[in-house]
Structure 1
Amino acid sequence: MALISNFSFATEIDLVRYVESKKYPDLKQSYFVDLLTLALEVSKSRYGDYKLQPVNIEMAQARTSMMLQREEYIDLTWRMTSQTLENKLQAIYFPILKGLMGYRIFIIPKNKQHLFNKKTSLADLKKIDLGQGHNWADSDILLANNFQVVKGNDVSLIKMLKKGRFSYFPRALHEPWLEISDDEGLTVEKYLMLQYPAPTFFFVNKHNERLQQRLSFGLALLLESGQFEQFFLNHRITSGILSKANVNNRTSFPLRNPLLSDKTKALLTDERLWIKLK
């Protein structure tokens, strides 16, 4: 009986739909799609085949999460986690970017570098307006640490920076260069970095136990085999990013993240899951 049950379980085809924007394509998305594909591939022996299907809908992060919660259009998303988000959606408790989102360097106008130098203190930074997205966990984290945060829509923040609405735009280590590659007026600030624990998880609907179990199983296999580490080190989005960002020569300011759940905090002690700066 068990053999028949296992065979039936493995012959199902899992449909996994996710948002892919045509209007605002994001090259960084390839990292998540490639890792998702890898986790589904290594889990085929237990869970069978799958079909990945991008859904071309233009929506912000918050609306994507809402659609997933309602079981409409999509089966999965990826976001920086928070207790509030975990209450609404089922997190796959595996930091798929090794905490990279919590290491923040700044996009700035080239004529603003004088505001930031090796002697700049955390108190100095908190007096300078910065930009972050509506409904981003980062906005709440930075506000909780008493920064001056100007909020905007995701796709408008670069334009707001150029118009002088704020003076710096903190981005994760792997993000700035792609975002300003065509803009000669912007640059990456040279000396400073913010740091806070900020895992990014895959999320599914709380009723989708099969996909939750499959991804947890697949990601665990990748971790134990060393494939996840190799994927992170060699993917075009993350490869060489620590040296490119010159992290070991930056002044790093540790911040608290009050948004983490107890279950997420428990992951922080597993060194295999996080990037190592040195």
Structure 2
Amino acid sequence: MREIDPSSWYPLQLLKLALEACGVSCELEPTRQVMVQSRALLDLQNGQDGLDIAWSMTSIERERQLLPIRFPIYKGLYGWRLMLLKRGLEPHLLREVRSLADLRRYSLVQGHDWPDTTILRANGLQVVTGSSFDAMFNMLRLERGQAFPRALLEIDWELESHADSLAIDPHLCLHYPTAMYFFVGRGNERLAGLVERGLNRLLAKGSFERIFMQYHGAILARHVLSRRRVLELHNPLLPPETPLARKELWMQP
């Protein structure tokens, strides 16, 4: 996996700009140790290890435990899914799929404990699960599953290690509404208010769109979603407070 300087991460750059937009000059410091997401969110909930803010996909349960800043920092891009297929199948396997009813004839690979598995099954789709990425990629190679839906933001670098045996389907895109937010602890309303106000100021003056495209414009240009058939899915895990009515917050293909 490629090493990336954490200081260049999109969420950190966006957070810094949002705080500066509110007149707050700060130095963002990572935690002293690398944490898995579940540990980081638990520490944030309990106010441990000096952790003030983190970013994660939202869910009903997560919004009960933490204070969400309901501004989708990736404009919902993690809900746009392209299909990885066994190489050689990409010209024709999904070419005639026009609806969810058509897609239900195919088995889709996912992680056994992923929320995406719940979402796909809630839409009546067949899902076969694996316990690790290596296992899931092998399931495609061995045709134990026919397609592996992956987020638009992830699929290219995942394919880099498997380009000899896997390929991206050129026909189809799945979409369900989902959001990645900044989260703070329940008692940290002041920080939540500052970040939310700063993000909305960046949005109003066009700075949010500029930094979003700086980081993600090349991916959107490479995979033009408007040229694909988009199948819309219901997301039963999405909190009802999600600001879907604010169209300016979401990516429109």
TM range (shorter): 0.7 to 0.9
1:246 matched to 2:224? The reply is yes
Identify which of 71, 76, 82 aligns with 2:47.
71
Q: How does 1:1-278 map to 2 (within 5 A)?
A: 30-43=9-22, 45=23, 47-59=24-36, 61-73=37-49, 74-113=51-90, 114-119=92-97, 121-153=99-131, 155-156=133-134, 157-183=136-162, 184-235=164-215, 238-264=216-242, 267-277=243-253
Q: 1:40 is aligned with what amino acid?
A: L
Q: Tell me whether 215-224 or 61-70 shows the greater mean CA deviation.
A: 61-70
Contact 2:58 2:179 in 1 (8 A): yes
Going from structure 1 to structure 2, the CA distance change for 1:105 and 1:75 (only over 3 Å counts) comes to same
Q: 2:231 is aligned with what amino acid?
A: F
**1: CA distance between counterparts of 2:249 and 2:193?**
19
Contact 2:97 2:103 in 1 (8 A): no
Contact 2:16 2:28 in 1 (8 A): no
Per-residue deviation, 1:49? 2.5
How many equivalent residue pairs? 248
**2: CA distance between counterparts of 1:268 and 1:149?**
27
Q: 2:75 is aligned with what amino acid?
A: K
Give per-residue Cα distances to partners, 1:202-221, cap 9 Å, x unaligned.
Answer: 11221222321221122111
Q: Percent identity?
A: 36
Corresponding residue SS for 1:202: strand
**2: CA distance between counterparts of 1:165 and 1:58?**
33
Per-residue deviation, 1:178? 1.3
Unpaired runs of 5+ in structure 1? 1-22
Contact 1:79 1:201 in 2 (8 A): yes
Corresponding residue SS for 2:208: helix
Give per-residue Cα distances to partners, 1:216-270, cap 9 Å, x unaligned.
Answer: 12211111111001111122xx113333113112111111112222211xx1111
Give per-residue Cα distances to partners, 1:63-104, cap 9 Å, x unaligned.
Answer: 433333233343332222111211111111001011111111
Per-residue deviation, 1:154? 6.1
Contact 1:95 1:200 in 2 (8 A): yes
Contact 1:81 1:198 in 2 (8 A): yes
Corresponding residue SS for 1:150: strand
Going from structure 1 to structure 2, the CA distance change for 1:163 and 1:69 (only over 3 Å counts) comes to farther
**2: CA distance between counterparts of 1:201 and 1:150?**
29
Going from structure 1 to structure 2, the CA distance change for 1:104 and 1:207 (only over 3 Å counts) comes to same
Per-residue deviation, 1:120? 5.2
**2: CA distance between counterparts of 1:143 and 1:162?**
23
Unpaired runs of 5+ in structure 2? none
Going from structure 1 to structure 2, the CA distance change for 1:126 and 1:63 (only over 3 Å counts) comes to farther
Going from structure 1 to structure 2, the CA distance change for 1:92 and 1:165 (only over 3 Å counts) comes to farther
Going from structure 1 to structure 2, the CA distance change for 1:103 and 1:140 (only over 3 Å counts) comes to same
Going from structure 1 to structure 2, the CA distance change for 1:176 and 1:214 (only over 3 Å counts) comes to same
Per-residue deviation, 1:273? 0.6
**1: CA distance between counterparts of 2:10 and 2:85?**
25
Per-residue deviation, 1:53? 1.6
**2: CA distance between counterparts of 1:181 and 1:204?**
34
Q: Root-mean-square deviation (CA), in Å?
A: 2.6
Corresponding residue SS for 2:251: coil
Corresponding residue SS for 2:211: helix
The alignment's TM-score, normalised by the length of structure 2, stands at 0.85
Corresponding residue SS for 1:203: strand
Per-residue deviation, 1:168? 1.8
**2: CA distance between counterparts of 1:210 and 1:31?**
23
